[in-house]
Structure 1
Amino acid sequence: MAAQHVEVERKYDADAGFGLPELSGLPGVATVGRARSHRLHATYFDTDDLRLSAHGITLRRRRGGDDAGWHLKMPVGPDSKIETRAPLGRARVVPARLANLVAAYTRGAALRPVATLETERTVLPLLDEDGAVLAEVADDAVTGRVLRDDHDAAASWREIEVELGTGEPGLLRAAGKRLRKAGARRSASSSKLGRLLNGAVPRAPGEPADDGSAGAAVRAYLAAQAAAILRYDPKARVAEEDAVHRMRVAVRRVRSALRSYRPLLERERVDPLRPELQWLAEVLGEVRDLEVLRMRFTARLDELGVGDAGREWLDELARKERSAYRRLNAALKEPRYFALLDALERLVADPPLTDRAARRATKELPVLVARAWRRMERAHAAIATAEDADVARHETRKSAKRARYAAELAVPVLGETAARAARDARSVQEVFGGHQDGVIAMAHLREIAAGVRTPAEAFTIGVLYGVERCEAQTSLDGLERTWQRIGAPAF
């Protein structure tokens, strides 16, 4: 089983004659513990074109020290990485779970050894009054060798690493200040591997340039959502809380932007992406819908004080959710998914912009946001004459969501006016969402009721059905108040 923890650290370069300064007296530090020495040997794995390194990800198998085994480190902030560990296993076979967590980056490419590092490490623990480790200072003498055919290199250097334990972030800053005063320099690379590979690592895509055009605004938004899909991919694979939801939202935002801002994009290149995005959203949605229902029903039963005897049917819902997660993980390994990620990268790197996209964002974006808003208004008006009001309400909810996302894209350009439009559209979305969630919950309860085995289950489901029906109606009762409160954006 792989284990995870968040690693918060800073690295410093030091000359061979550098002497560690006195570390006692740092914030919260009562004593400096006894030094421990280790000899570490690490083999780093990556694709032939160094896709992991390009995104600041390191995957290694390390022998020696207190944490021998496989280590996967993925950045989550300027000084923070989430580290996932697995036992040593086989020397040249990456553990399946770790390989799965980086599949969105490798996309079917093999993981091979790309470098080795030999480290002579001396560790000094910084302890509080109770002996708890606030931080560790590692003094490393490193020798690295590149194993790639196209980049034969070896190097040696000295590095000081400060890793936070139970201490506060201020300790990390204070330790760094003291090290710099003694002659150390903040390392230009966040990892030893990055330093060793240096120029061989391809540059990750930077922030799109902003020239004030409508196309630049759309490109920046698409870049942010494509990055979010990658960021939440490994979290969704291990069922981290809210990860599937956030990944699906990013997918929906891309799809919505391609629709709402279609006049700025060449359709022959953009339109083929939309069904692929819909496919991914549906795969994620199956998990998310079951997850929401399970949490919703569990919370309802807790509020009603229903014991285990009345909630056996929830086991079946949990089983369906686990099955949906398995299907999601299978889909996230498919070439179809990898091809979609490739297409999104191309979309951001070389967006297929029309001539209209070159116009000023301050002129074009208000027009397109207003158009999305009018579509929401028309969908709302159609409810009154619809044959199936629930279907019409669902369409209004989708239109409100598109209006919200269209306005969100424009916020960096149009400011508070667009932000208010996004908030108002979200209010409409949430009202209809509350009703739609109730409708979906009632449909599931009717399905479940057909297979109940005990009177206690039947009674519980009946009570829940009544609660869901009341809440769905309550959501609709608030619609007119919401609609009267909002207004079309005045750009």
Structure 2
Amino acid sequence: MADTKREIERKYESEESGLPDLTGVAGVEAVVDKGVAHLDATYYDTADERLIASSITLRRRTGGSDAGWHLKFPVSEGVRDEIRAPLADTLPDELAALVRSRIRNVEVLPVVQLRSDRDVRHLLDAEGRLLAEVSVDAVQAKRLSGGVGDAQWTEIEVELADGGDPAFLDKVEKRLRNAGVRPSASSSKLARALEETAPKKKSPVTGDPVTAGDHVLAYVRTQRDAIVGLDPAVRQDAEDSVHSMRVATRRMRSTFKSYGKVLDRSVTDPIGDELKWLAGELGVDRDREVLNERLTAVLDEVPPALVSGPVAERLSTWAGDRPGGASARLIGVLDSHRYLTLLDALDALIADPPLLKAAGKKPEPVLAKAVKKDFGKVTGLVEQALDLEPGTDRDVAIHEARKKTKRTRYAAEAAGPALGKPAKTMVKSMKSLQNLLGEHQDSVMSRQTLRELSAVAHAAGESAFTYGLLYGREEQRAAAVEAELPGFWDGIKDGASAL
């Protein structure tokens, strides 16, 4: 069974082989010698090094106190989540699943072997509590595939104790710097080993986006990276991960539609259909979860005397509360051939984009035209909704306006680097409008759910009074949005003229 540990550490290099005296670090009462550990780690990756390209490391290590398989994901600079599984001859399935979005059906191979003699010290406070573990690692690296030669070096590693204050690492670093020790130029031992044993290659030509196509592709690439990067988090049921992945699919699909003059829609539309499928699968549990949170919050505001029957229990049953972890259905989607084929299609699109004539033009006029076109559709739908009487037709028009509002927002996001402040203003306006219209749509969906629950309760011989009460409150919330919308919309129209 795998477990996860948040790892906060810093790496240093020095021309000296020993460790400077750390007894002078503020808060350190004692430096305890824990002896030398002999570590032997084999790092795995695809032949084209997909994992290290994402700053992910996968290794099988023997020796030390944590022998086993280790998978590390970057969180921020100097912070990684390490997922550990017991020592086995082959990669455990639970770790293989977490890298599947990156490796797909490609085999992982041993790429580097690192043997380290780790001289360990514990920094303790006045009460004997561990503040940090400091080690001097004498490393020998051997390239196993895709490179040439061996390498060796010595580095100092400082790892914060679990639950420690990251500011303590600043104190240790100050002491190390005063002793002539400098931060490592490499993010990890694996990165350094690959750099020092890699065959010489010409540096790739990079640069800022220049054409309209450059800007659109940069945005598409960002969404592809988000989908792939969020896959492990979704599998681990990390907070907000499903929603974030779903938003990335919508952003990309929306971009294909908004910038149909830049990217050939005969190529992007089929991919967009698959993105719609993925968003739908991600939303099966999410939509119900959001509605349940809303209705539960509203129910909590109702005085107990007005709650008639097992309303909370009915809501919980309807929501299908899970005991924890991502659903087996959703894991099945992420493991499916259809999903992995979609990821391959996104890679192929970015590697060989179906650019049209407008893609080679200056970005400002091309991108601004697309954003204005989308905003025009929002305008038509909002004004149509305002002309309608309250009821189903107005509800539908407001919902359609919300969808086009999101599309305009995403188009303006993609155009932001080229258009600057006007695009950023549009993004802000569309986000505000999206939130307002979303409140209305949530009310519509809540009322539909309350009608269904009321019917079930009535059939079971229970009172439907509280469901009717909640229904009335949701009607009031929708009416408040409709009353606010005209003035809100006038303000947005005035601000949109700068684009």
TM-score (norm 1): 0.89
- Alpha-carbon distance, 1:107 to partner: 0.8
Secondary structure, counterpart of 2:137 in structure 1? strand
- Alpha-carbon distance, 1:449 to partner: 3.0
Q: Structure 1 pair 385/465, CA: closer, same or farther in 2 (3 Å)?
A: closer
Q: How does 1:415-426 map to 2 (within 5 A)?
A: 415-426=420-431
Q: Structure 1 pair 294/130, CA: closer, same or farther in 2 (3 Å)?
A: farther
- Alpha-carbon distance, 1:221 to partner: 1.5
- Alpha-carbon distance, 1:332 to partner: 1.0
- Alpha-carbon distance, 1:412 to partner: 2.0
Tell me if 1:135 matches 2:132: yes
Asked if the contact 1:287/1:324 (under 8 Å) is kept, the reply is no
Hey, what's the Cα distance between the residues in 1 that align with 2:130 and 2:140? 28
Q: How does 1:229-268 map to 2 (within 5 A)?
A: 229-268=227-266
Equivalent in the alignment of 2:357: 355
Which segments of 5 or more consecutive residues in structure 2 lack a partner in the other structure?
Answer: none
Asked if the contact 2:148/2:198 (under 8 Å) is kept, the reply is no
- Alpha-carbon distance, 1:457 to partner: 7.5
Q: Structure 1 pair 111/91, CA: closer, same or farther in 2 (3 Å)?
A: same
Tell me if 1:32 matches 2:34: no
Q: How does 1:87-102 map to 2 (within 5 A)?
A: 87-88=86-87, 90-92=88-90, 94-102=91-99
Q: Residue 472 of structure 2 is aligned with which of 466, 469, 490? A: 466
Q: Structure 1 pair 450/114, CA: closer, same or farther in 2 (3 Å)?
A: farther
Equivalent in the alignment of 1:409: 414
Secondary structure, counterpart of 1:123 in structure 2? strand
Q: Residue 346 of structure 2 is aligned with which of 341, 344, 347? A: 344
Q: Structure 1 pair 305/25, CA: closer, same or farther in 2 (3 Å)?
A: farther
Secondary structure, counterpart of 2:327 in structure 1? helix
Q: How does 1:66-81 map to 2 (within 5 A)?
A: 66-81=65-80
Q: Which moved more, 1:211-220 or 1:284-293?
A: 211-220
Secondary structure, counterpart of 1:226 in structure 2? helix
- Alpha-carbon distance, 1:120 to partner: 1.9
Q: Which moved more, 1:164-173 or 1:54-63?
A: 164-173
Amino acid across the alignment from 1:292: V
Hey, what's the Cα distance between the residues in 2 that align with 1:380 and 1:71? 53
- Alpha-carbon distance, 1:454 to partner: 6.7
Q: How does 1:2-21 map to 2 (within 5 A)?
A: 2-15=2-15, 17-21=16-20
Equivalent in the alignment of 1:366: 368
Q: Which moved more, 1:231-240 or 1:166-175?
A: 166-175
Hey, what's the Cα distance between the residues in 2 that align with 1:174 and 1:340? 48
Q: Structure 1 pair 27/480, CA: closer, same or farther in 2 (3 Å)?
A: farther
Hey, what's the Cα distance between the residues in 2 that align with 1:341 and 1:190? 27
- Alpha-carbon distance, 1:289 to partner: 0.5
Which segments of 5 or more consecutive residues in structure 1 lack a partner in the other structure?
Answer: none
TM-score (norm 2): 0.87
CA RMSD in angstroms comes to 3.0
Q: Deviations over 1:380-438 (max 9, x none)?
A: 23333597222221111111111111112222222222111111122221121111111
Q: How does 1:295-310 map to 2 (within 5 A)?
A: 295-304=293-302, 310=311
Amino acid across the alignment from 2:11: K
Hey, what's the Cα distance between the residues in 2 that align with 1:317 and 1:240? 23
Q: Which moved more, 1:392-401 or 1:159-168?
A: 159-168
Q: Structure 1 pair 207/304, CA: closer, same or farther in 2 (3 Å)?
A: farther
Hey, what's the Cα distance between the residues in 2 that align with 1:207 and 1:454? 69
- Alpha-carbon distance, 1:273 to partner: 1.5
Equivalent in the alignment of 2:160: 164
Q: Structure 1 pair 206/107, CA: closer, same or farther in 2 (3 Å)?
A: farther
Amino acid across the alignment from 1:346: A
Amino acid across the alignment from 1:439: V
Hey, what's the Cα distance between the residues in 2 that align with 1:270 and 1:46? 30
Q: Deviations over 1:330-355 (max 9, x none)?
A: 11112221222222223333433222
- Alpha-carbon distance, 1:269 to partner: 2.6
Asked if the contact 1:37/1:122 (under 8 Å) is kept, the reply is yes
Secondary structure, counterpart of 2:456 in structure 1? coil
Asked if the contact 1:309/1:457 (under 8 Å) is kept, the reply is no
Tell me if 1:430 matches 2:435: yes
Asked if the contact 1:370/1:489 (under 8 Å) is kept, the reply is no
Equivalent in the alignment of 1:317: 318
Q: How does 1:54-133 map to 2 (within 5 A)?
A: 54-88=53-87, 90-92=88-90, 94-133=91-130
Equivalent in the alignment of 2:290: 292
Q: Structure 1 pair 324/82, CA: closer, same or farther in 2 (3 Å)?
A: closer
- Alpha-carbon distance, 1:170 to partner: 4.0
Hey, what's the Cα distance between the residues in 2 that align with 1:154 and 1:212? 41
- Alpha-carbon distance, 1:228 to partner: 1.5
User: How high is the sequence identity, in percent, across the aligned residues?
Assistant: 44
Tell me if 1:482 matches 2:488: yes
- Alpha-carbon distance, 1:280 to partner: 1.1
Asked if the contact 1:208/1:216 (under 8 Å) is kept, the reply is no
Q: Deviations over 1:104-156 (max 9, x none)?
A: 111122334444333221222223334333322111122344444x5475443
Q: How does 1:448-463 map to 2 (within 5 A)?
A: 448-452=453-457, 458-463=464-469
Asked if the contact 1:53/1:201 (under 8 Å) is kept, the reply is no
- Alpha-carbon distance, 1:202 to partner: 12
Q: Which moved more, 1:27-36 or 1:274-283?
A: 27-36
Q: Which moved more, 1:453-462 or 1:398-407?
A: 453-462
Q: Residue 328 of structure 2 is aligned with which of 321, 326, 329? A: 326
Secondary structure, counterpart of 1:417 in structure 2? helix
Secondary structure, counterpart of 1:65 in structure 2? coil
Asked if the contact 2:249/2:278 (under 8 Å) is kept, the reply is yes
- Alpha-carbon distance, 1:253 to partner: 0.9
Q: How many residues are treated as equivalent by the alignment?
A: 486
Hey, what's the Cα distance between the residues in 1 that align with 2:123 and 2:141? 28
Amino acid across the alignment from 2:317: E
Q: Residue 185 of structure 2 is aligned with which of 184, 188, 194? A: 188
- Alpha-carbon distance, 1:211 to partner: 4.3
Hey, what's the Cα distance between the residues in 1 that align with 2:415 and 2:322? 36
Amino acid across the alignment from 1:179: L
Amino acid across the alignment from 1:96: D
Q: Deviations over 1:433-472 (max 9, x none)?
A: 1111111122222223333387778454444333323222
Hey, what's the Cα distance between the residues in 2 that align with 1:173 and 1:344? 42
Hey, what's the Cα distance between the residues in 1 that align with 2:193 and 2:68? 21
Amino acid across the alignment from 1:355: K
Q: Which moved more, 1:396-405 or 1:386-395?
A: 386-395
Q: Structure 1 pair 382/320, CA: closer, same or farther in 2 (3 Å)?
A: farther
